[in-house]
Structure formats: structure tokens, C-alpha cells
Structure 1
């Protein structure tokens, strides 16, 4: 084979491998899922630090056969070298119990600095290194299996310049963090907003997807407490962000997280919805003798009731809704699922995932 022919053959092979990687048909050895997920578990879930933490932990253990990872929502950073633990953070009994159940423990870290301060931190090489060192110290403080960065505050900006600086700075931070976590045989995970309809522009899906082991997309809060009433998730919305995500991130890394909760809006009042878990929403519906309605377009339940002379509108998610939305994941070849959050969800959520 001459040089030109060999070059064409290598180029063709590289193109085929790239297509296969993005489609999820081929997984390079260094990126192959490790641990429990290799035994067929496809789910992850967050464990909140508030409410009945022990009940949430028992929920995880009860469904261990479907969970490869639990991410305790335990930590928050507010500076280069400052990571604060929430109440109960780092509980050895929870970590050990999850490990005994065959579940990996990858705690979540959030940030409070916002766009401009985080951008300044991430673009300064020394400050960025100090921040990575601090995160690695956290991983080393317990028998953790990696780290999940859920840096949302910095992404909630409408300023294009700030957003661009956040996006390029976050690429640098995640690249360095993942490289060092991988040197320690630890997982590197990011949680991001759905990139659709103007949202999620602060996250560079393509580059981040190349660095991380798992790429979690928050498939919820299409409508949220700070806006108008409506479904938290919707099938056409899933279609939009999955089309983009699977075109830029290898499918085997993607996880779509479903909501196990809802919002209670007062009709005509924007920005003051009350949070409800599925259990709380159903208890409220029964107490108010409200009719259960299911919106087939979005694939979510909802109901209305009156209190103190005001009309309330509640949208939430249940097992029926998850069954209606799961086909979108299958359509795009995504097997990874997530749950926000343990202890919030309809018990039928687990049956829906198992039957999918």
C-alpha cells in the first residue's frame, strides 16, 4: 500500500470510529464504564442532604439492582479553596452502606460564585489549580469513587460575554480535574442544563463530553418556580435536547435525569411556586379531591385546586409520565437515566425504568 492509499485508509477508519463513538456503538477501552454499571445497571440518583436523609438512603439500597451510582448532594464551593459540607456531609455509614450494596458514591459539588467570579477563577491558571487541588482533597477525604460538578449558578446569565468566558473557563477546569481524577482511577462527572431554547449555552457539550466519564443532563424544570406554570419536562423538549446532545457527546456517557417532584403555582402569580415531592403532590391532590389529569403532549400529570380563594395549578412527574418519555431516550440510543431525587419519586418510577 502506497503512502496516499495508507493515508486514505487511516482517514476512513478514523471517520468510522468517530461515527461509532458518537453513536454509542463502540466504546474505547479507556472510556468503558466501570464497576456496577458494567453489570447492567443504568441508573444514577442524587441523595439530598435535607428532609429524611435516612429514608432517601434506604430508597437507594432498596433499588440497588438498578443504580450504578448515588451522588449525595453534600458540598458547596464559594471560592478558590473553599468547599463547605452541608449538614450530614461525608457520613461514613451512608458511604459504606451504598458500597456494600454495590453502588458507587460520587458526591456532588455546587458553586455559589456566579458567572463573573467563576470565570475569573477558571481563567487564572494558579487559582484554577488551587480549586482543582481543593476538589481532589475532598475526594481523598472519604472512600469516594469520583466527583460530580453541578456548577449551575455560573450558567444562569444572559450576558453573552460572561457566558462565553464561563464556557471556555469551565472547559479548562473540567479538563484538568478529569485528568487528575483519572490518574487516581476516579470518575469525573458533570451535571449540566439542557442545551435547548437558549438554555445551557454556558456549557460546551462537545468538549466536556470528551473529558468526562458521565454527562448528566437535567431533564427537568422546563417550567420552574421562578416562571409560569407548566410541565417540568416534555416530550418535544426531550426530543430537542437529545438531538443536540447525541450529536456532540458519546451516547454511552449521557444520562438524562428525570424529576421526582413538582411545583405548585398560584394562578396569575409568577415566580413563587412551592416545591412538592411526588408523594406530597399526590397527598395534596387527594386531600383537595382534585381530578388527576395527564397531559399527553408533554407526558406529565397535573391538577388544580382552590385555597383561600385562589386557584392553584400543580404540575409534577410520576411513573406514568416517565413511561411516556422514556421512548425518546431509546430513540436516540441513550440508556443512562438519573433521578432528582431519592425519596421524592413515585415508586412506579423504578418499574418504568425496569420495563423500558
Structure 2
């Protein structure tokens, strides 16, 4: 897979010829609403010719296998497809047998570099006796490489049929799905949640559901509510008993606690509560995890951070979701949602106190559109990557890319003369995040939130690692 950034004067035909990839493959992979309209600075995912295939309308695995001279089972295995009939238009399939036709000026070294393989493996599989005697038009088989396996979580707030469809479409890319949210009450009971459609879809797609429990009430996280529970052992027992009952009944694989804005004086109370949860849930095989604010030091001040004890929770729970997003928050100034330099600052601290294999790095699937000049009290509009591209196209904006933040952005002026600044995600920013997950040797990645279309993300993820399946 390649990522191509559209330059002035380019169109899809020119780009397809450059990479030797059919126009329809590129258009479908990127879900381009109009293949004739591209935006300068727009990032495009380009499938690797002969190695990756984007499913088109009318395709099935049998016809694709016939096209590439392989088998349905081989394609299903390498792409983690449990049901060969469960494929969707726009999905990129890795083809398990790959060939390369030597072009003028190419060497074994340059070919090996292109595919990320060793010269030795290329020589062995093709029985090349003299590496210097390559000729133009020679067909070489490219040895298959195995991708690393990482865990992938996604929170979801749409819990009806639309949410179920989302899980069905994206389940192959996920280890966990986390319906948001069960909330604690002052008496230790939990609010109701109607998430059966999402849970049913998760079972079919072999995605393990995590029960999210929060101190979220009346559209905000409530510090007093958390304190009421964390300072009362009897109420804590009630919470644990009820969540166990729900997990058993609904088939959850684990729990994810997202207690935010906890009073600093409840730091150790929170740790003790988690110890009790682990003691009661582990014997039944349930996972216990938490979501923590993005800290850069142990003693970082602020009610969002102080009660989140990285070191203690790193010992207590099975894994931690670091919420490394929302630097560019709706009520703040225009900024990248997850600037990669800030994400790395959090991880540089986190890996010193939390085992790397317990860290799930948070990543956003959304962007935001701010009115500028920014004024205190204004709220940015949340946009998807597809909506951002539509805005850039509509208003003739060119997309820029901030290399420090590893994030695309642009500015435009609407019909009323109002200026805007948009920060969003694209294939480049997604790749930057996957590189961090791999380079820091983390457990995996956790997305906020499904329901905001970002088709490129899943194609790029698939090119970097496979999602671990627990069920």
C-alpha cells in the first residue's frame, strides 16, 4: 500500500497510471464520492498492484481467488475473514500470492526495499543464481510477510441497528467493542443500557465486548458521584455485584472503568476499588481495564489527572486505555485532535511506570471545524474525514499537513464571509499513529469513536497489523 498526496494538476487517471493501479480500485478504497474531483493536498490510499485488491460491487471471494490464482480459504485466512460471504465493497483484501514484474533500473535491493523483505528471501524463493542478471519483464514472486498482531478496541455510542451495522462492517479490524456507557448511581446500582443489537453483532464478528462503567451523568462526568462510591465500601460491593450480574447475563468479556474528574483525595480509594474488582472478576475469567487521562508526569496537577495513578493501575488491571486525544477539543482553540508530539510525551512517561504490553494508545476517528478568529466560548463542530474533504472541495481549499503534529488541516471562508479552520485525520496521520504503536511496542490501539466514517483508517491499519481475536 502507498499513500499518495494529490498535487496541483493531478487527476485520478494520472495517479492510477503512476502506480499501475486501476482507477476504480483507488476510488473505491478511498470512497471518493466523485472520482473526477480531487483536492490539492488530499491523501489517497493506493492499493499495491497484485498484492492488494479492493472489493468492487458484484465481487465474491471465489471470483477474486480465480482472478489471482489462489484459493478462497487462503484469502480468508490471511485477511481474518471468518465467514467468506461476509465481505463488503471498499474492503481491501491482501492477496496471499504476490508477483513483481522487473522494470528498467530496478535491482534486487530496490525490489526488496519496496516490499519490506530481505534480499536473501527474494533470492531463495525465486532461485536466483546471479542477482546481477535481472532483466526487464522478469517476473519475481514476492514472499509473504507476516504482520504483527495487536489488540484493537473501539468505543461506540450508537447502540441500535446502526451501531450493529458498524460492528458488522468493521468487526474484522477489532479485538474489543466498548458500548458507552453504564453509569453508576448514588446507591451503587447501574443505569440501564439497551445494547443487545451491538452485542449480537460482536459475537458474529468474534469481537469481545467490554462493559464500560463511568461516573457520567446528566451529560458530564460527576466528581461527587465518584466520591460517593469510592468512599463507601458497601456501595462498592453493590457496584461490583451488579456489574458481575450484567456481564454474566449479557456475555461481556470484561469491564472498562472510565472514571474521570475524580477528586485527588480519592486517588488511593480508586486504586483500592480496582483491586477489589480484580479480586472478584479474575476468578471468573473477566478482563479488567481502565481509561486514563493523558499525563506527562506522576505529579501532574489538575482534577483530570491527579487521581489517575499510572503506576498503581499498571500493576492492578489487565490493560489501560490512554486517552491520547482531545488536545483540539470542541471548546478550545483550533488544534490537531491528537498531535503526535504530544501523544509521544504522554507515552514517554507512561512506559516508565506501566508495562508496555498493558498500554492501549487512544486515537480519534474524527476532526473538528472551528470558526476563526477563535473566541472564548465558541464551540467547534465535529466532522468526519469525509466531511472535511467535502468542505475543502466545496470552498476550494488546499489541504496542508503539519509535520510536527502529523495532522492535516485547512482553512476556508463560507458563504457568510466567516473564516474556518479544520483539523482532521487522514491516511498519513493514521499511519503516524500506527508507527507509534509499533515503535513503542504497545499492546495496541483504542478508538474514540465508531459512527464517524473514516474509511482510510481501517485500510491503513490492516496494512500495519492484524487485530487479535479472543473469541
**What's the TM-score, normalizing by structure 1?**
0.79
Q: Distance in 1 between matches of 2:365 and 2:177?
A: 15
From the superposition, tell whether residues 58 and 117 of structure 1 become closer, same or farther in structure 2 (CA, over 3 Å): closer
Between 65-74 and 196-205, report the one with greater CA deviation: 196-205
User: Partner of 1:209 in structure 2?
Assistant: 314
Q: Aligned to 1:257, which of 362, 367, 374?
A: 362
User: Partner of 2:104 in structure 1?
Assistant: none
Q: 1:334 offset after TM fit, Å?
A: 1.1
Q: Contact 2:163–2:198 (CA<8 Å) still a contact in 1?
A: no
Q: Contact 1:149–1:190 (CA<8 Å) still a contact in 2?
A: yes
In structure 1, the residue corresponding to 2:346 is in which secondary structure?
helix
The answer to whether 1:105 aligns with 2:201 is no
1:135-174 correspondence runs (5 A) = 135-152=243-260, 154-155=261-262, 162-163=263-264, 165-174=265-274
Q: 1:298 offset after TM fit, Å?
A: 0.3
Q: Aligned to 1:270, which of 351, 365, 376?
A: 376
The answer to whether 1:239 aligns with 2:344 is yes
Q: 1:107 offset after TM fit, Å?
A: 2.5
Q: Distance in 2 between matches of 1:196 and 1:54?
A: 39
Between 168-177 and 301-310, report the one with greater CA deviation: 301-310
Q: Contact 1:261–1:317 (CA<8 Å) still a contact in 2?
A: yes
User: Partner of 1:83 in structure 2?
Assistant: 190
Q: Contact 1:191–1:215 (CA<8 Å) still a contact in 2?
A: yes
The answer to whether 1:176 aligns with 2:276 is yes
From the superposition, tell whether residues 148 and 301 of structure 1 become closer, same or farther in structure 2 (CA, over 3 Å): same
Q: Aligned to 1:130, which of 238, 262, 268?
A: 238
RMSD of aligned Cα (Å): 2.3
Q: 1:345 offset after TM fit, Å?
A: 4.1
Structure 2 runs not aligned, ≥5 long: 1-81, 83-147, 465-471
From the superposition, tell whether residues 48 and 279 of structure 1 become closer, same or farther in structure 2 (CA, over 3 Å): farther
Q: 1:61 offset after TM fit, Å?
A: 2.8
Q: 1:179 offset after TM fit, Å?
A: 1.9
In structure 1, the residue corresponding to 2:322 is in which secondary structure?
strand
Kindly name which structure, 1 or 2, has the bigger radius of gyration based on alpha carbons.
2
Q: Aligned to 1:191, which of 291, 296, 301?
A: 291
From the superposition, tell whether residues 120 and 83 of structure 1 become closer, same or farther in structure 2 (CA, over 3 Å): closer
- CA deviation profile, 1:331-351 (whole Å, cap 9, x unmatched): 321140111122324211112
Q: Distance in 1 between matches of 2:442 and 2:164?
A: 26
Q: Aligned to 1:96, which of 186, 194, 200?
A: 200
The answer to whether 1:248 aligns with 2:353 is yes
In structure 2, the residue corresponding to 1:107 is in which secondary structure?
strand
**What's the TM-score, normalizing by structure 2?**
0.60
Q: Aligned to 1:350, which of 449, 458, 463?
A: 458
Q: Contact 2:158–2:451 (CA<8 Å) still a contact in 1?
A: no
Q: Distance in 2 between matches of 1:58 and 1:45?
A: 14
From the superposition, tell whether residues 166 and 262 of structure 1 become closer, same or farther in structure 2 (CA, over 3 Å): farther
User: Partner of 2:152 in structure 1?
Assistant: 43
- CA deviation profile, 1:245-295 (whole Å, cap 9, x unmatched): 111111112111210001221112234112223233333333333222211
User: Partner of 2:170 in structure 1?
Assistant: 63
The answer to whether 1:296 aligns with 2:396 is no
Structure 1 runs not aligned, ≥5 long: 1-35, 156-161
Q: Contact 1:74–1:90 (CA<8 Å) still a contact in 2?
A: no
Answer 1 or 2: which has greater helix percent: 1
The answer to whether 1:338 aligns with 2:443 is no
The answer to whether 1:229 aligns with 2:368 is no
